[in-house]
Amino acid sequence: MTPEALTLQTSPIITFGYVMQIIFSLAVIVAFIYVIGRFVLPKLKITPTGKIIQVVDRAFLEPQVSAWILKVGKKAWLVVISNKQVAKIDEVEVE
């Protein structure tokens, strides 16, 4: 047999350096996840769903023009929003 084949047949030996390398790699990954969760995600400012104003439905009519049905309490309104103005069209009934 060739020397290369003999080295492939031996079982790997787990050394102290190998274990320390695995522990160090795991610590780096955990630290990276902590930094992302602690500092980066809060800056994204993901807005939670509102308790007072709810978006019932929306439809895009044209580029930069959309119609929204907004519900506040028990009332709902149809609102059209463009890049230049916001217009309340009418009060609507929502189930």
Domain of 21 in residue numbering reads as 3-43
What sign has the CA pseudo-torsion 62, 94, 48, 86?
Answer: positive
The reported pLDDT for the residue numbered 42 is 77
Q: Is residue 59 in a domain?
A: yes
Query: Do 37 and 62 fall within a single domain?
Result: no
Query: Do 58 and 88 fall within a single domain?
Result: yes
The fraction of the chain above a pLDDT of 90, given in percent, is 54
Tokens linked to 9: 């047949």
The pTM of the full predicted model, rounded to 2 decimals, is 0.47
The count of domains in the chain is 2
Q: Is residue 17 in a domain?
A: yes
The reported pLDDT for the residue numbered 80 is 96
Give the sheet arrangement for strand 53-62, strand by strand.
53-62, 65-72, 75-82, 86-92
Query: Do 13 and 34 fall within a single domain?
Result: yes
Q: Is residue 48 in a domain?
A: no
Query: Do 34 and 8 fall within a single domain?
Result: yes
* Beta carbons within 8 Å of 82's beta carbon, 6+ residues apart: 64, 65
The ranges of the chain with pLDDT < 70 are 1, 4-12, 46-49
The reported pLDDT for the residue numbered 41 is 82
The reported pLDDT for the residue numbered 53 is 87
